């Protein structure tokens, strides 16, 4: 019986933990080929299964993957690949060689693919993954129309989800952060709007945090802009993969972005009762119910400003209602159980 799931990904992060646990719950063994092993990620995988560091260099990596797939081809259920890399097409080619099913997992690389944010070789490799994998799993609604320009069949929508155990809204916990930004600082997330608005009169007495600076990051110019232009009422800190303490302290979560739906930090923030302010982008209304559990604003600086003004003027009673509704929405619609059943259906379709 085919019980191994082979995954090619840059590294396992906390947001991958739910899927790895679900794979093992289904009775499969995950073998994750990674560029590097993130500290703590070894706890995600129970034996059988493990992480394997990919060799550098195309030929060395090809020999490594060829040998593994050849040896284990009769026990492999399918191969999952994340397409954002120059060598990713090779995983599709070798999987086809050994008659293995492939699942291309789209987590946001498609946005930069269409904006030509990758070099030509990487885009060619990504195209091969999108076009020739047996199925493509996409997580954002905007991706469907773009993927349909490459292929019409074999597309499966399954959004992100989180394990809500231990997450709840505590209205007795001190709330000393008014507006929280907790995401990487990239141009697609309009951080300049946020900085400018916080410096204006209605918000000068507010206390705010931007948690999203990376130690080494391709968008260093954007990070430098934040550090040089942050208003006095904004504390800037490095991004963290364990942001629970920020969520417990924050009143509002801000996400003015080209892509909003099922952002992992957004899901986690709402699960702790942090009231979201998000741009009106495809899929946003599926998670944020405007003026019930958060605010959905026109994707513009003016829209964000008006939304922040309305949010900060909520009465305590109104705020508690929004916060409780936010936590309830995640538990009911974006929970582990819903995600697990949908993922199991996807794996069945691969058969």
In the structure encoding, which two tokens stand for residue 78, read together?
């399918």
Q: What is the mean pLDDT of residues 176-180?
A: 98
By three-state DSSP, how is residue 175 classified?
A: coil
169 within domain boundaries: no
Q: Which single residue is written with the structure tokens 């060395």?
A: 60
Q: What is the pLDDT of residue 217?
A: 53
Q: Is 116 in the same domain as 224?
A: no
Q: Is 142 in the same domain as 17?
A: yes
Q: Is 154 in the same domain as 181?
A: no
264 within domain boundaries: yes
Contacts of 277 (CB under 8 A, 6+ apart): 179, 252, 253, 254, 255, 256, 294, 295, 297, 304, 307, 308, 311
Residues 49-80: tens digit of each pLDDT: 999 999 999 999 999 999 999 999 999 999 99
Q: What is the pLDDT of residue 1?
A: 66
168 within domain boundaries: no
Q: Is 191 in the same domain as 149?
A: no
Q: What is the mean pLDDT of residues 123-133?
A: 96
By three-state DSSP, how is residue 322 classified?
A: helix
Q: Hey, which residues does 102 pair with through a beta bridge?
A: 79
170 within domain boundaries: no
26 within domain boundaries: yes
Residues 180-218: tens digit of each pLDDT: 999 989 888 999 999 999 999 999 999 999 999 887 655
In angstroms, the CA 308 to CA 143 distance is 29
> Model confidence at 89, in pLDDT bands (50, 70, 90)?
very high
Q: What is the pLDDT of residue 216?
A: 63
Give the domain extent around 272: 177-333
Q: Is 85 in the same domain as 97?
A: yes
Q: Is 201 in the same domain as 307?
A: yes
Cα first-last separation, the chain:
12
167 within domain boundaries: no
| Cα dihedral 315, 321, 324, 330 sign | negative
In angstroms, the CA 102 to CA 95 distance is 7
Q: Is 187 in the same domain as 210?
A: yes
Q: Is 260 in the same domain as 238?
A: yes
b/e map 82-113, b = 16+ CB within 10 Å: bbbbebbbbbbebbeeeebbbbbbbbbbbbeb
Neighbour-count burial of 121, counting CB atoms closer than 10 A to its CB (0-12 exposed, 13-18 middle, 19+ buried): exposed
- Count of structural domains, the chain: 2
Q: Hey, which residues does 278 pair with through a beta bridge?
A: 255, 296
56 within domain boundaries: yes
Q: Report whether pLDDT(262) > 80.
A: no
In angstroms, the CA 182 to CA 203 distance is 19
Residues 165-175: tens digit of each pLDDT: 888 888 888 89
Q: Is 212 in the same domain as 252?
A: yes
Q: Is 214 in the same domain as 260?
A: yes
In angstroms, the CA 114 to CA 240 distance is 28
Q: Is 183 in the same domain as 147?
A: no
Q: Is 144 in the same domain as 282?
A: no
pTM: 0.81
Q: What is the mean pLDDT of residues 261-288?
A: 91
């Amino acid at each position: 019986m085919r019980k191994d799931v082979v995954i090619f990904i840059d590294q396992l992060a906390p947001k991958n933990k739910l899927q790895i646990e679900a794979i093992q719950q289904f009775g499969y063994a995950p073998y994750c080929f990674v560029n590097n092993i993130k500290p703590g990620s070894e706890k995600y995988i129970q034996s059988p299964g493990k992480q394997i560091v990919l060799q550098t260099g195309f030929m060395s990596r090809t020999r490594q993957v060829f040998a593994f797939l050849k040896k284990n081809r009769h026990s492999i259920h399918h191969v999952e690949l994340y397409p954002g890399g120059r060598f990713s097409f090779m995983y599709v080619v070798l999987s086809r060689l050994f008659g293995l099913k492939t699942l291309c997992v789209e987590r946001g690389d498609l946005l930069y693919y269409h904006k030509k944010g990758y070099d030509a070789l990487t885009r060619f490799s990504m195209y091969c993954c999108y076009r020739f994998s047996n199925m493509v799993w996409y997580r954002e609604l905007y991706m469907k129309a773009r993927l349909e320009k490459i292929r019409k069949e074999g597309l499966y929508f399954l959004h992100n989800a989180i394990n809500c155990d231990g997450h709840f809204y505590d209205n007795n916990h001190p709330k000393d952060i008014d507006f929280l930004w907790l995401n990487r600082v990239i141009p697609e997330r309009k951080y300049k709007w946020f900085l400018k608005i916080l410096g204006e009169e209605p918000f000068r007495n507010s206390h705010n945090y931007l948690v999203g600076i990376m130690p080494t990051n391709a968008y260093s110019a954007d990070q430098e802009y934040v550090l040089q232009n942050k208003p006095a009422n904004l504390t800037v800190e490095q991004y963290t993969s364990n942001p629970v303490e920020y969520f417990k302290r924050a009143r509002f979560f801000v996400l003015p972005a080209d892509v909003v739906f099922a952002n992992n930090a957004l899901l986690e923030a709402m699960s702790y009762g942090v009231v979201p302010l998000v741009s009106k982008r495809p899929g946003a209304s599926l998670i944020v119910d405007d003026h019930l559990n958060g605010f959905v604003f026109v994707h513009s600086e003016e829209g964000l400003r008006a939304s922040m003004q309305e949010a900060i003027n909520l009465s305590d009673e109104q705020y508690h209602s929004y916060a409780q509704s936010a936590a309830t929405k995640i538990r009911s619609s974006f929970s582990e159980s819903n995600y697990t059943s949908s993922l199991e259906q996807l794996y069945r379709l691969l058969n």
